[in-house]
Amino acid sequence: MAVESCELASGLRVVTDAMPGLETASLGVFVAAGSRNESEAEQGLSHLLEHMAFKGTRRRDARAIAEAIESAGGDLNAATGVESTAYYARVLREDCGLALDVLADILTDSLFDPGELEREKEVILQEIAALQDTPDELVMDLFNAAAFPGQPIGRAILGAPERVRGFDRAAIEAYLQRHYGPRSVVVAAAGAVEHERIRDEAARLFSDLPPAPPVAAQAANYVGGEALVAKKLEQTQVVIGFEGRAFADPQNYAAHLFANAVGGGMASPLFQEVREKRGLAYSIATFHWPFLDTGLFGVEAATSGRQTRELVEVSLACLAGAAHALDESDLARAKAQTKVGLLTALESSSARAEQIARQTMIFGRVLTREEMIGKIDALSLEEVRAAGAAMLRSAPTVAILGAARKAPGAADVSALLAGV
C-alpha cells in the first residue's frame, strides 16, 4: 500500500492510497456526523442535507452538478449512515481535480433553495413510504429502535415523516454549520491519485468549511427489548440480536469471527441446520456491526408464520452450541472469509477510499494490511468462543414483522439461552 496522510492547518485530514495499475480514481469527502448526531427534533436531517447538497450551488444547478461528473464518464453519489455521511465520485485519473471541485462546491456553497427543498422533502417521504413496503429493511429499523430505545443511534436514518415535513433552510444550515467543520471531515482518495495534488486541491477548495469543532454524539446505551409487529406478509421477518463490540474494543475481531464462523455463508453451522437440514428459511445469516462505542450482533432470516418459533429455537441452539463447541474448521473458514473481505477493499478504489477514510475517523490513522491480518490470525478458538458467549449473555433484542402475535419475544430468548 502507498498510503499517505496529513492534517491541514484547518484540521481537515487528507488520506490517499495510490494503487498501481489503475487509470481511475475514487475520491470522497467523509463527514463524522450521521443520524446518531441528531437531536430528536432533527431526526432525518443528516439524510436531508445529503440530498440537498446536490440541488444547486451558486456556480451549478442540480443538472450541472450531475453533468460535470457524468460528462467526464464518472459517477457521483452520497450516503448517510449512523455515524458518518459520505459524498464521493469516481473519475479518470486526469479528472481528480474536477471531482474535488464538484464535491467542494456542493459542500461549501449549496443554496438550499426553498423550492428545491420542498420537492426533495417529497422525494424523501416517498423513500420512507417505500421502506414500509420493504419488510427486510423495515424489520431492521424496528430492531435498532428496540436495541437502543429513545436514543439517536436507534432512530431510522431516513427520519420520521412529520419531522421531514417541518425542516426548513435554516435547520439545514444550522446543522451543517455545527457538524461540517474541517476537524470532522476526511478527504480520501484511492486509485490513480497523487497525494500532493489531492492535498493541495483540498487545502484550496475546502477552505470555506465552517470553523466548527467536532461535536460528540450522545453515548449509546444498549438496552435490548422487543418489537413484535403484526403485518400481513407472505413471510415473517425475524431478527434476534445482542450487544456487540465497538470498533476499538479488544474483542471486536473475535466477535466478528464468531459471527462469521456460526452463520457466515452456506457452509456455516447455522445455514446447514436451518436451511439444508430443516428447510425453515431460504436464507439465514449472522451479522456483527461495530459502532464507535457499542455494537450489535445477531441473526436475521425470513420464514413462514407457522415456523417462526421453530426457526428461533433452532437458531438460538446453533448460537449457543457454537459458544461452547465451535470447532477449528469453522474458525479457519471464518478467518479466511474475513481476510478476503478486508483484502478485497485493497483491490477496489472506491472500497479502499471508504476504508481508509473510516479508519482515519475511528483510529486517527490507516491500519496496515499486516496489522489487520495479524489480529485475525492471532485469535484462538477459545477467544472466539468466549466473545460469542459474552454477547449471548447480554439482554436480547427481538424484532419480528409479520405473523408476530404468537412469536417468541425477548423473555423467550433469554429462557432458551439460559446457561450459555
Mind telling me the catalytic residues? 50
Q: Residue type at 415? A: A
In 3D space, the residue among 281, 324, 316 whose CA is nearest the CA of residue 301 turns out to be 281
Question: For residue 386, what is its C-alpha cell?
Answer: 468466549
Cα distances from 394 to residues 292, 333, 388, in angstroms, run: 18, 26, 10
Tell me how far the alpha carbon of residue 365 is from its chain's centroid.
19
Answer yes or no: are the C-beta atoms of 363 and 370 closer than 8 Å.
no
Contacts of 54 (CB under 8 A, 6+ apart): 62, 65, 66, 76, 78, 106
Q: Residue type at 299? A: V
